[in-house]
A and B are shown apart, each in its own frame.
Chain A
């Protein structure tokens, strides 16, 4: 990971790029339907995070900043939605209890969210079964095993755009389930890692 592509030293380069891209990033946030005041806020926040939490060289720094900002915009919207929904008791779940299901070690699902997750998984599995085997296989590799689209394409000997088509189809089917379970897809969400952390951080 430190050996590929062009890298920019984190401390000075990323911050400079952050400033240089300011107008572009602001426009992006507005396109993401963030209010002007919030956009200012998020950009400040981004600058701060680059300063405090990025500690190594970053490959493809522009994409890195965009990705970070994109996630922050998403988090902010979720946090606001949650505030409105006012259903925060899962945030009080003790840190580190029974956290065997998730990658993030400090956000443990309680029994109920684990149950919901199991139910969700069963529905997703059922949906995948209706898809062509290869489509389901590609989805699992990508979304569950975390294998990159490029590697999947290489392993299966198909083009990247073919992988994308498989994924598109699988996502369509899988997201459908979510929409049926929870119309609109906003508000309280058992897997709200990102929003949850931010809400806790306040």
Chain B
């Protein structure tokens, strides 16, 4: 069906595709020379790009399906997207496309704001055209603006922001009437029930509400409830652990731990009165199926986890 030469060309095209999208120091001059060697090279390279792009939709399917997708298969044990593909082809293609759309939307006067929502247990990564990445935890809602990628509004839930910093146009996240302005940053924000928790993993942010302006550096945390603001600290390695498939706690009420599991895994949890005031310190790995997680939590927290019709019941 395919000639030997064609097979070789295809292998070369794949190699180029992998090299060009995998690293920042790919040799584009060499690539141009390879293309010039044979007019067919470009066609085959294009076909490889097409095929890879076509796979994106299927790949997205496995990313957003339940953690049981492909059960019994190690590699699928934790199909959560990881925020590590800044230079890869799909992300790049997406951001270029997004930029084009943004420009058009500005001229066409379309409604530019749109919201993205995740269900409990669903994690999702958004790539903005300026290189900013937002990883949404489950049960999260965020509003973005197509014509201005430098603003976002967290309406509910939790998200981690890896902001492409620009001195002239700082990235601003609003949560209610509070604002978080990046000063070159990776940060994690959780909002719910009138409370806000902000943790800075890298760089710095400025926190603003009507009264207060605070600068938070890497490792700083801030918690607001009503009018009170409490500053704290947290090892940067523990911040946004959920994006890496684990939850890290220090002396945390089980109520909060349960809420995190519900958000990240989509499992409704009912806490017995005899455990609700207990506290936990440690790391919970989130990989594996619900059954595995159930056993792990029993062992780690020293509790009894019973699967019920609509979730878990945790008792002593």
- Chain A residues engaging chain B, CB cutoff 8 angstroms: 1-3, 5, 10-11, 24, 27-28, 31-33, 49, 52-60, 62-64, 66-68, 70-72, 74-75, 77-78, 95-96, 99-106, 109, 113-114, 116-118, 120-121, 124-125, 136-137, 140-141, 143-151, 164, 167-168, 171-172, 174-175, 178-179, 182, 184-186, 189-194, 196-198, 200-201
Contacts and interface: CB of A to CB of B under 8 A. Distances in A.
Interface size class of B (residues with CB under 8 A): 35 or more
Given A144-B79, A194-B94, A55 B164 contact: yes
B26 interface: yes
A13 to B, nearest CB: 13
Contacts of A99: 116
A5 B46 CA distance: 30
Contact of B97 (A55, A59, A198): A198
Contacts of A106: 98, 101, 114, 146
A158 to B, nearest CB: 15
26 contacts: A1-B164, A5-B24, A31-B36, A55-B164, A56-B165, A67-B21, A67-B92, A72-B96, A96-B114, A103-B90, A103-B127, A104-B94, A136-B75, A143-B55, A146-B91, A171-B18, A171-B52, A185-B51, A186-B46, A189-B50, A189-B53, A190-B54, A191-B57, A191-B58, A193-B53, A198-B100
A24 B30 CA distance: 12
Highest count of chain A CB atoms <10 Å: which of B10, B28, B50, B165? B50
Given A54-B130, A175-B51, A113 B57 contact: yes
Highest count of chain B CB atoms <10 Å: which of A56, A59, A184? A56
Contacts of A189: 50, 53-54
B242 to A, nearest CB: 15
B56 A185 contact: no
Given A118-B58, A197-B97, 10 more contacts: A28-B32, A33-B35, A96-B114, A99-B116, A106-B98, A117-B58, A121-B62, A143-B52, A147-B84, A196-B97
B279 to A, nearest CB: 33
Contacts of A175: 10, 14, 47-48, 51-52
Given A167-B18, A168-B18, A56 B166 contact: yes
A72 B95 CA distance: 11
B104 A63 contact: no
B86 interface: yes
Given A103-B125, A146-B84, A56 B55 contact: no
A32 B79 contact: no
Interface on chain B toward A: helix, strand, loop, or mixed SS?
helix
A116 B54 CA distance: 10
Interface of B: 10-11, 14-15, 17-26, 28-29, 31-33, 35-36, 39, 42-43, 46-64, 70, 74-76, 79-94, 96-104, 114-116, 118-119, 122, 124-127, 129-131, 144, 146, 149-150, 162, 164-166, 168-169, 184-185, 202-203
A51 to B, nearest CB: 10
Highest count of chain A CB atoms <10 Å: which of B11, B54, B62? B54
Contacts, number: 265
B61 A68 contact: no
Contacts of A100: 64, 118-119, 122, 124
A53 to B, nearest CB: 4
A53 B162 contact: no
Contact of B53 (A31, A150, A191, A197): A191
B97 A193 contact: yes
A185 B47 contact: yes
B165 A2 contact: yes
8 smallest A-B Cβ distances: which pairs?
A: A146-B85, A121-B58, A197-B97, A191-B57, A53-B99, A60-B24, A31-B35, A178-B51
B134 to A, nearest CB: 10
Given A2-B165, A103-B94, A201-B104, A137 B84 contact: no
A71 B92 contact: yes
A167 to B, nearest CB: 5
Given A75-B97, A197-B97, A191 B14 contact: no
A2 B133 CA distance: 13
A61 B131 CA distance: 13
B130 A56 contact: yes
A63 B97 contact: no
Contacts of B54: 120, 178, 182, 185, 189-192
B50 A144 contact: no
A146 B81 contact: yes
Given A53-B130, A143-B55, A197-B97, A117 B61 contact: yes
